[in-house]
Amino acid sequence: MNDWAKDVGRKPLVIRGARQVGKTTLVNEFGKNYGVYLKLNLDKQAECNLFDEFQDVNTLIDAIYVYNKQQKEEVATLLFIDEIQNSAKAIAMLRYFYEEASWLHVIAAGSLLESLIDKSISFPVGRVEYLAIHPCSFIEYLNGIGESFDQNLVENIEVTGVHDRIMQHFKNFTVVGGMPAVVNKYAEKRDVLAVSKIYDSLVASYVDDVEKYAYNDTLVQIIRFVINEGWKYAGQTITFERFGGSNYRSREVGEAFRVLEKTMLLELVYPTVYTQIPILTARSRKPKLIWLDTGIINYMAGVRDEVFSATDIQDAWRGKVAENIIAQELIALETSVLFHRKYWVRDKDQSSAEVDFVLEWMGKVIPIEVKSGINAHLRSLHQFMNRTNHDIAVRIWSKPFSIDHVKTIDGKEFRLFNVPFYYACVLEKLLQKYV
């Protein structure tokens, strides 16, 4: 956001993210950098009415100053429009903020922006830019619970001699998750059970919003079903037809999932069969279901105690919670709303070869496996490396960092980076350091 503020060609910034991921808090903190900070919340009718009453952008800006009881000054000024989806006119006005009042820094935020506005109104193409906000990464979690010393160790890839301590932090992070309200409560109590009410409130708010997302009663019911039952399928490949043991048909379930993807509550991670750039998505294959936050998954799927008591994260819940937390860390590396994670499958019928994730890095497609075991048993990873044009592979595990030199059965030599869970949030930085 600092880079955005310094850009002379800056456009209004639209922040995207699921409910309760901290969009408003983030902007309020950022607003402290400005001489004047103007705020509007379009959940409030009086503030929404400003966009109905004033059609000229300069007159509107004057009215916003008056409403906020602020004097117009020649200082850096930020206008934050929260819940902008409640006013199609406010959305349309973003264009004129850019074209006629470029001196004013404008940030907008809201939930399910594409689906809630009037279908005849869209965000001004080419006149806004986007920023995706996700739950806290492990580094942000450490900062949130006051473990700044260990945060610096991870951030600078300097964990030496305290591996077990940092892994215990990461296991706690896997149980708690990265939702800001949950992290804050856990920092206060250091008690996993103390955050249960917050999980209940979060999921209840998602269910309550269903009517806003859906255009008919059937879609409302299916979305509610997915929100209440779908957590149990985290990290698994799914089929839409009769999902979760229901009687719902493929087309209806697929539509419900696509709506929920727009809310950024979940992502359908599709595979690719490619091992080199560009990695095209195989949409005809089954997707893997990844939810926005592992803490909510553990709570809603009833596996929190199992994860907390597991000796190794990869032993808990058939390894699915480990896969979801790494997916969560990988997306935390990105601020683009267009970024989608992918996994790899072998392009051959009846083949079971699958690599958990792939990462585009420095013109390479890096395979990422989330599992322990001896190197010779990483068969899918070996098959991937036989087909790619580089010698770098990543295995996420619970042991300390190391690099192995491995040879496939076909004779391809490659470097296997054994990366502890806590370095997943700095994976690109780690690769840059050692490659």
- Token pair, residue 409, equals 């059965």
pLDDT in tens, 330-346: 998 788 888 899 999 99
Q: Please check the confidence at residue 409 and state whether its pLDDT lies above 80.
A: yes
Q: Please check the confidence at residue 239 and state whether its pLDDT lies above 70.
A: yes
Give the separation between CA 18 and CA 264, rounded to whole angstroms.
Answer: 5
Q: Name every residue whose Cβ is closer than 8 Å to that of residue 403 and which is 6 or more positions away in sequence.
A: 415, 416, 417, 418, 434
- Cα 21 from chain centre: 9
Burial (CB count <10 Å: 0-12, 13-18, 19+), residue 386: middle
Mean pLDDT of 403-430: 96
pLDDT in tens, 204-224: 999 888 877 788 899 999 999
Q: Give pLDDT, residue 215.
A: 81
Q: Name every residue whose Cβ is closer than 8 Å to that of residue 212 and which is 6 or more positions away in sequence.
A: 112, 116
Nearest to 377 by CA among 404, 359, 400, 350: 404
Q: Please check the confidence at residue 372 and state whether its pLDDT lies above 80.
A: no
pLDDT tier at 238 (50, 70, 90 boundaries)? very high
pLDDT tier at 375 (50, 70, 90 boundaries)? low
Percentage of the chain lying above the pLDDT 90 cut: 76
pLDDT in tens, 72-105: 999 999 999 999 988 989 999 999 999 999 999 9
Q: Please check the confidence at residue 182 and state whether its pLDDT lies above 90.
A: yes
2-132 homologous superfamily: P-loop containing nucleotide triphosphate hydrolases (3.40.50.300)
pLDDT tier at 124 (50, 70, 90 boundaries)? confident
Domain ranges of the chain: 2-132, 138-332, 342-434
Q: What share of the chain is helix, strand, coil (3-state, %, to 5)?
A: 50, 15, 35
Q: Is 127 helix (H, G, I), strand (E, B) or coil?
A: coil
Q: Please check the confidence at residue 351 and state whether its pLDDT lies above 80.
A: no
- Token pair, residue 15, equals 């922040």
pLDDT tier at 164 (50, 70, 90 boundaries)? very high
Give the separation between CA 64 and CA 36, rounded to whole angstroms.
Answer: 12
pLDDT in tens, 127-163: 999 999 999 999 999 999 999 999 999 999 999 999 9
Cis omega (within 30 of 0) on the bond before 278?
A: yes
Give the separation between CA 76 and CA 5, rounded to whole angstroms.
Answer: 10
pLDDT tier at 115 (50, 70, 90 boundaries)? low
Percentage of the chain lying above the pLDDT 70 cut: 95
8 Å CB contact between 432 and 424: no
Q: Is 402 helix (H, G, I), strand (E, B) or coil?
A: strand
pLDDT in tens, 306-323: 888 888 888 888 788 999
Q: Which residue is it, tokens 């935390």? A: 332
Q: Is 134 helix (H, G, I), strand (E, B) or coil?
A: coil
Number of DSSP helices (H) and strands (E) in the chain, helices first: 19, 14
Q: Give pLDDT, residue 114.
A: 57
Q: Please check the confidence at residue 378 and state whether its pLDDT lies above 60.
A: yes
Mean pLDDT of 353-382: 89
Mean pLDDT of all residues in the chain? 92
DSSP 253: H
pLDDT in tens, 33-62: 999 999 999 999 999 999 999 999 999 999
Q: Please check the confidence at residue 352 and state whether its pLDDT lies above 90.
A: no
